[in-house]
């Protein structure tokens, strides 16, 4: 597959909205004598190391000539000096900055775009200290140098970036690039390919074809890729959890395999059927409101057939298409055979492993849509744009509680049950219902004259400021939603669902003003200091020197700017489905999703999985700690949740006790399980559920010292608390 980045894709938007980390502050650009003649003042290595793009080696930094403009101004000025010495560099492909010498080289790869591993034809080296120029011609070389990992030299908006990156991923999966010795020349690379029994055609890695009388093309047994699940598949379960199914919804599973989803959806009372070329070939392929093509396109080895399957599923879709595929989140196990743009597994099935962003680009280009990421490897594609926008907006609506009744108002008490739906609607939308939005409208208006008069009675019994806070929260929700719409194509007001249109009209003066506010909010993400301040001043979450940690349940309660920060990751890539903790990186624009399986039952839960998204290039990294002997663990879990979390009080009491005992003083030493166990042992502490007790085996004298230290810390804390209270009273 050749995945082309659309002009409006994420890199451009991230760049325009200042999500790219700001360059080193531009200072005085030294003259040749000031900075080049002396290694003491030589800062090229620092500037190269700080570049977000380009290929950095121990003694050199390489970058494509079209990417020079994104370099730090200091480096651009430095490179321009070389052009003044030797202006005949027209046609150069790469620029090489030597990081330990005052030299710049211009490398010519005329077939850079078309050859997966282009040959070096010539190079020009410029010595900026002596102004000497060297030229080398490789055009007649029998074994010229070649390039690998071409995507590392360019930026993600380069036309062939995805094509280059896909080839590199396929080569990494097979282990072709594990040992770089000997593969830097054409002959060495061809020997490596031959040893692995593969060849490269275009930018695709395929199994080498052996020409003899026997046809060695593998017979792929697709039906073996179908698995028997004990429950609903992820995409179908997520559709149910997202309330996409209504009582009248009909469901069709395109490539249903053994039919598990079909039968389980039918058991829940929906009209359900499915087709599969092996297990259910005679079932008619009929249109349905919800169509699922889950984990199908990744097992079809023929690229044109894969594309056709996706198109046919979309043609059957009346409301929403569920698309799911295998996503490459870890190294593929050895023992597989490269074939086409994927691999053949030990079971003789084909697997195409996508990057998450690659999968979205593929769906968008084939169907001409803007697919919505719901989880890793799962996308929803809506037929109706208004329905898509309604779904998007609902995902960024924060939680709010209906204001409590604070006053005895006779008329409210008499009609409290009748007014309850109106209160629920106001809590959900932050505004009064428009005509036809509330099913009880007629009854309420008959009793009170209008919905506005009914709400005035509600205000008398509650707190008007709480209702204003809910409206303000809904305005912030809309800002986050509209800001994130910039990552694709912001819809016109008329393209939005009627409910969202009413939200905007009621909560903002105009749609234009709402969009202006959203744009300003998005631009503010480029202010690193503002992000740091928002994290450090957050009233929710656990603050560490370089990050803020928040439980997934508390995300909607954090500062709207941080919600937007996280939304930049989840809106395009999606969250790790099982994640229950979100980490906001401060120093670099990254978001991590962490999974602690025992968060609610273990006072210090063990980390299982981490997925990190780099917002500069949307690159995803994945770590699995399940098999680690000494995994990371979590402390002070009460700090990650809000006070209304079910077990908050229990969490908070344990944290307070651990602080009094001094167990959390050196957080770096207790980040992993072994360090925490050692800390408990050294302090004669034993955890019984969520309570600390003294170890019965502790030396009596040591126990006495530890208890004295505990009492001393408590006294100091009490004194500090008293002094703080006195200062507040004086103020």
Neighbour count for residue 31 (Cβ, 10 Å): 10
Q: How far apart are CA 101 and CA 96, in angstroms?
A: 11
Residue 503 tokens, joined: 């939200």
* pLDDT in the model for residue 577: 73
As separate numbers, helices (DSSP H) first and strands (DSSP E) second, the chain gives 22, 25
- Residues 530-585: tens digit of each pLDDT: 989 999 999 999 999 899 999 999 998 899 999 999 988 887 777 777 889 999 99
pLDDT in tens, 100-154: 888 999 999 999 998 999 999 999 999 998 999 988 888 888 888 999 999 999 9
DSSP helix/strand/coil, 547? strand
Q: What is the pLDDT of residue 40?
A: 33
Pick 12 or 151 by higher pLDDT. 151
Rounded to a whole number of angstroms, the CA Rg of the chain reads 30
pLDDT on residue 471:
93
Answer whether residue 334 shows pLDDT above 50: no
Q: Quote the DSSP letter at residue 476.
A: H
Taking CA atoms, 159 is separated from 4, 484, 723, in Å, by 6, 24, 64
Please, which pLDDT band fits residue 210 given cuts at 50, 70 and 90?
very low
Evaluate whether 440 touches 421 at the Cβ level (below 8 Å). yes
What is the rounded distance in angstroms from the CA atom of residue 106 to the CA atom of residue 124?
Answer: 5
Q: For residue 36, what is the DSSP state?
A: I
pLDDT in the model for residue 211? 44
> What's the CA gap between 504 and 499, in Å, rounded?
9
pLDDT higher at 251 or 205: 251
Please, what is the average pLDDT of the chain? 84
Task: Count other C-beta atoms under 10 Å from residue 443's C-beta.
Answer: 13
Spatial separation of the C-alpha atoms in residues 112 and 203, rounded to whole Å: 12
Is residue 324 predicted with pLDDT exceeding 60? yes
Backbone angles phi, psi at 625, to 5 degrees: -105, 5
Give pTM, 2 decimals.
Answer: 0.61
Quote the pLDDT of residue 340.
55
What pLDDT was estimated at residue 239? 95
- Which DSSP string do the residues of 638-687 spell out, in sequence order? GGGS-TTSTTHHHHHHHHHHHHHTTTTS-TTTTSBHHHHHHHHHHTTEEE
pLDDT, residue 107, reads 93
> Is the pLDDT higher at 174 or at 412?
412
pLDDT digits over 150-169, tens only?
A: 999 999 889 889 889 888 88
Res 4 pLDDT > 90: no
* Residue range 435-452: mean pLDDT, rounded: 93
Look at residue 248 and tell me whether its pLDDT is greater than 70.
yes
Mean pLDDT over 711-725 rounds to 73
pLDDT at residue 724 in the model: 59
* pLDDT value at residue 595: 93
Judged against a pLDDT cut of 80, whether residue 444 lies above it is answered with yes
Average pLDDT over residues 304-331: 87
pLDDT at residue 606 above 60?
A: yes
- In this predicted structure, which of 212-221, 240-249, 323-332, 374-383 has the lowest mean pLDDT? 212-221
Torsion angle of alpha carbons 693, 699, 705, 707, nearest 10°? 20
* Residue 59 CA neighbour count, 13 Å, CB half: 5
Q: What percent of the chain has pLDDT over 70?
A: 87
């Amino acid at each position: 597959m050749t995945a082309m980045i659309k002009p409006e894709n994420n890199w451009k938007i991230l760049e325009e909205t200042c999500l790219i980390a700001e360059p080193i502050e531009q200072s005085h650009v030294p003259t040749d004598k000031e900075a080049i003649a002396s290694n003491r003042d030589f800062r090229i290595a620092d500037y190269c190391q700080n570049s977000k793009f380009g290929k950095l080696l121990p003694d050199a930094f390489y970058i494509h000539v079209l990417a020079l403009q994104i370099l730090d101004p200091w480096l651009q000025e430095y490179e321009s000096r070389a052009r003044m010495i030797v202006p005949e560099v027209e046609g150069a492909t790469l620029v090489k900055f030597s990081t330990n010498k005052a030299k710049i080289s211009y490398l010519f790869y005329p077939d850079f775009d078309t050859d997966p591993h282009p040959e070096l034809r010539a190079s020009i080296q410029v010595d900026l200290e002596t102004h000497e120029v060297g030229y080398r011609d490789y055009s007649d070389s029998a074994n010229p140098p070649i390039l690998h990992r071409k995507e590392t030299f360019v930026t993600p908006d380069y036309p062939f970036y995805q094509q280059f990156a896909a080839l590199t991923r396929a080569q990494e999966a097979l282990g072709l690039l594990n040992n770089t010795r000997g593969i830097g020349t054409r002959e060495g690379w061809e020997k490596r390919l031959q040893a692995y029994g593969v060849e490269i055609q275009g930018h695709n890695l395929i199994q080498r074809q052996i020409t003899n009388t026997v046809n060695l093309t593998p017979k792929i047994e697709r039906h073996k890729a179908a698995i028997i699940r004990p429950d609903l598949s992820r995409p179908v379960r997520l559709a149910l959890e997202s309330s996409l199914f209504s009582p009248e919804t009909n469901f069709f599973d395109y490539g249903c395999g053994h039919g598990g989803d079909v039968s389980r959806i039918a058991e829940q009372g929906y009209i359900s059927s499915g087709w599969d070329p092996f297990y259910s070939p005679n079932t008619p392929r009929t249109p349905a409101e919800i169509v699922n093509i889950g984990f199908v396109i990744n097992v079809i080895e023929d690229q044109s057939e894969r594309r056709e399957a996706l198109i046919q599923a979309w043609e059957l879709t009346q409301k929403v298409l569920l698309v799911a595929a295998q996503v490459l989140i870890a190294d593929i196990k050895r023992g597989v055979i490269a074939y086409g743009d994927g691999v053949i597994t030990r079971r003789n099935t084909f697997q195409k492993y996508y990057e998450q962003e690659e999968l979205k680009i593929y769906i968008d280009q084939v169907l001409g849509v803007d697919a919505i990421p719901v989880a890793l490897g799962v996308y929803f594609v809506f037929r109706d744009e208004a329905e898509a926008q309604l779904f998007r907006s609902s995902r960024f609506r924060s939680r709010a509680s209906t204001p409590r009744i604070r006053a005895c108002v006779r008329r409210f008490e008499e009609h409290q049950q009748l007014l309850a739906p109106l209160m629920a609607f106001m809590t959900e939308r932050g505004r009064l219902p428009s005509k036809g939005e509330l099913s009880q409208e007629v009854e309420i208006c008959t009793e009170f004259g209008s919905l506005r008069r009914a709400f005035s009675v509600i205000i008398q019994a509650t707190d008007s400021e709480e209702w204003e806070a809910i409206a303000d929260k809904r305005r912030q929700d809309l800002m986050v939603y509209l800001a994130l719409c910039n990552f694709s194509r912001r819809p016109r007001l008329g393209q939005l669902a009627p409910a969202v249109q009413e939200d905007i009209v009621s909560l903002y003066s105009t749609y234009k003003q709402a969009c202006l506010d959203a744009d300003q909010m998005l631009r503010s993400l480029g202010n690193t200091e503002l992000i740091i301040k928002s994290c450090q001043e957050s009233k929710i979450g656990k603050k560490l020197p370089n990050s803020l940690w928040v439980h997934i349940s508390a995300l909607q309660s954090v500062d709207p700017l941080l919600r937007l920060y996280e939304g930049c990751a989840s809106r395009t890539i999606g969250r790790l489905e099982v994640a229950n903790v979100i980490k906001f990186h401060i120093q670099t624009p990254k978001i991590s999703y962490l999974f602690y399986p025992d968060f609610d039952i273990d006072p210090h839960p063990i980390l299982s999985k981490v997925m990190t998204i780099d917002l500069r290039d949307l690159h995803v990294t994945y770590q699995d700690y399940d098999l680690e002997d000494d995994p990371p663990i979590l402390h002070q879990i009460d700090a990650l949740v809000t006070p209304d979390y079910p077990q908050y009080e229990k969490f908070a009491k344990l944290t307070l006790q651990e602080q009094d005992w001094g167990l959390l003083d050196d957080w770096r030493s207790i980040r992993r399980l072994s360090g925490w166990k050692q800390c408990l042992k050294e302090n004669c502490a034993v955890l019984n559920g969520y309570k600390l007790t003294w170890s019965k085996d502790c030396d009596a004298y040591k126990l006495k010292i530890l208890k004295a230290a505990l009492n001393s810390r408590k006294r100091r804390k009490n004194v500090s608390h008293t002094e703080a209270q006195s200062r507040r009273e004086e103020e």
